[in-house]
Amino acid sequence: MEVLRDTGSSVDLISFKNVKESDLTVDYVWARPALTNEHTCLALAEIDLEIDGVRLKTKAAVLDPSVEMKHYLLGNKTQELIEAIKKNPYSPELINLVVTRSQTKVARTEKENGFLDSIEGSVVEEGSSTIGLDKCEKDGRNNSLNDGEGTEILPPDEMDGNTILANIKGDEFRGKQINDPSLKGLFDKAGEKNSEFQVDKGVLFRIAPDKKEGIRKQLVIPEELREKILKLCHNESGTHVGITKTKDRLLRNFFWPNIIKETENYVRCCDPCQRIGHTGEKKKAPLKLVPIISEIFTKLNCDITGPLPESEKGNKYLFTVMCLASKYPDAIPLKDIKSESIVEALLLTFSRFGFPCNVSCDRGSCSTSNLTSTFLEKFGIKVRHSSVHHP
């Protein structure tokens, strides 16, 4: 497909016939064709481009099926990405994501504060189309966009040449490993028999078992490069994945001492993740009303106290019972806390109060035994055991 440069468009344009259904995304933009004041809602599709030897993935607005266009219109944003990749061939693959109005507003605020003085946004007002970067409303109403508003183009993040991992050569990496004091103990272990660490061509690796591949060879990263590797795995293509996925990406190919703890701390301290929120965080259980006890002695709470100093009759324990409605207490001395003794104490209690509807007790062996459970079940008494460590 022939590619034509459109200097009046912020986003690329492509015909519907040249897009696969699997490439369509859930994102939309508002487009205003030339010489008209009406805005049209267009879907976005992911497109793989190769222009002047540069390969990148971008997003293009898909025209209506009634519009026939045999060529691909290259917008300003993708062109800026291509120029940025040409200047820095070692930069990771850049994805041309549509900038929302909120992102544009934040960028404009930072620019006014002096943080982005060197960046000049371009406003699209002329040409074949003007793109208002915003999602479509579900009811299909026209969005009242001001001309040029919301069309500022955010440039790609500038990368420091010293931080590019692809520029590190093999000899330089071996030197960083050898000079790293935190890896000295691992080099010593590599010389031992049946060690999980080994040195291959002067580079330290860790051999880890893997369920799918059988054996996984992990490159041991020196301390100087660990933060860059963490950033690469956590913020790959701007996704900001969680702790579990970040650890999975790291452990596929990399390892260093305390890698799990450092990864968890890095993700927890990530500023964008803290601002957006924890989508996977468990929600709190809703509050429930406590049922009102309408009749006394229908709900009892039982517990065992002891061992206490032995009495003259040889009793060392107290079987305590309390009515949860009237708070009336009772205590029965016991010589032991076997199931037989507990059942006898319950019979004595029921002879005074009558048979209750519910009995609450802990998860002790005497309370959960077959004898005690069968005894209470025969009389139609429901037993509720308290949670572990929460009596």
Note the pLDDT tens digit of each residue in 186-218: 888 888 877 888 888 888 888 888 777 778 888
Calpha distance 345→235 (Å, rounded): 64
The string of pLDDT tens digits covering residues 88-106 is: 655 544 444 444 444 445 5
Give the amino acid at 207: I
- 231 close to 160: Cβ distance less than 8 angstroms: no
349-377: pLDDT as tens digits: 888 888 888 888 888 888 888 898 898 88
* Token output for 189: 């272990």
Of 355, 354, 357, 360, residue with least CA distance to 320:
360
The answer to whether 208 and 215 are in contact (CB under 8 A) is yes
pLDDT of 317: 92
In this predicted structure, the answer to whether residue 149 has a pLDDT above a threshold of 50 is no
pLDDT at 278: 60
The average confidence (pLDDT) of the chain is: 75
Max CA pair span of the chain: 106
Q: Letter for the amino acid at 326?
A: S
Q: Is the pLDDT of residue 174 over 80?
A: yes
Q: Give the integer Cα–Cα distance in Å for 391 and 383.
A: 14
What tens digit of pLDDT does each residue of 4-57 get?
A: 888 878 888 888 888 888 888 877 787 777 666 677 788 888 888 888 777 778
What pLDDT digit, counting tens, does each position of 119-140 carry?
333 333 333 333 333 445 444 4
Q: Is the pLDDT of residue 382 over 60?
A: yes
Q: Rg of the chain's alpha carbons, rounded to an integer?
A: 35
Q: Are 57 and 46 in contact (CB under 8 A)?
A: yes
CA–CA separation, 116 and 122 (whole Å): 14
Which class in CATH covers the domain with range 163-276? mainly alpha
Among the listed ranges 249-263, 284-298, 300-314, which one has the minimum average pLDDT value? 284-298
Return the structure tokens found at 1.
Answer: 């497909």
pLDDT at residue 85 greater than cutoff 70:
yes
Please give the model's pTM, rounded to 2 decimal places. Answer: 0.36
For the segment 134-163, the average pLDDT, to the nearest whole number, is: 42
Exposed/middle/buried for residue 298 (C-beta within 10 Å: 0-12, 13-18, 19+): middle
| 266-276 tens-digit pLDDT | 888 888 887 77
pLDDT value at residue 391: 55
- Percent of the chain beyond pLDDT 90? 2
Residue where the block lists tokens 């002329």: 126
- Show me where the domains of the chain are located: 3-101, 163-276, 299-385
For the segment(s) 3-101, the CATH number from 3.40.1190.20, 1.20.120.1200, 2.40.70.10, 3.50.50.60 is 2.40.70.10
**Lookup: tokens for 25:** 């995304």
Tell me: pLDDT of 348 over 80. yes
CA atoms within 13 A on the CB side of 52: 13
DSSP assignment of 164-233? -GGG--HHHHHHHHHH-GGGHHHHHHHTSTT-SEEEETTEEEEEEEETTTEEEEEEEPPHHHHHHHHHHH
Short-list 371, 362, 385, CA closest to 305: 362
Instruction: Output the CA torsion sign for 84, 60, 70, 35.
Output: negative
Let me know if domain 299-385 sits in CATH 3.30.300.30.
Answer: no
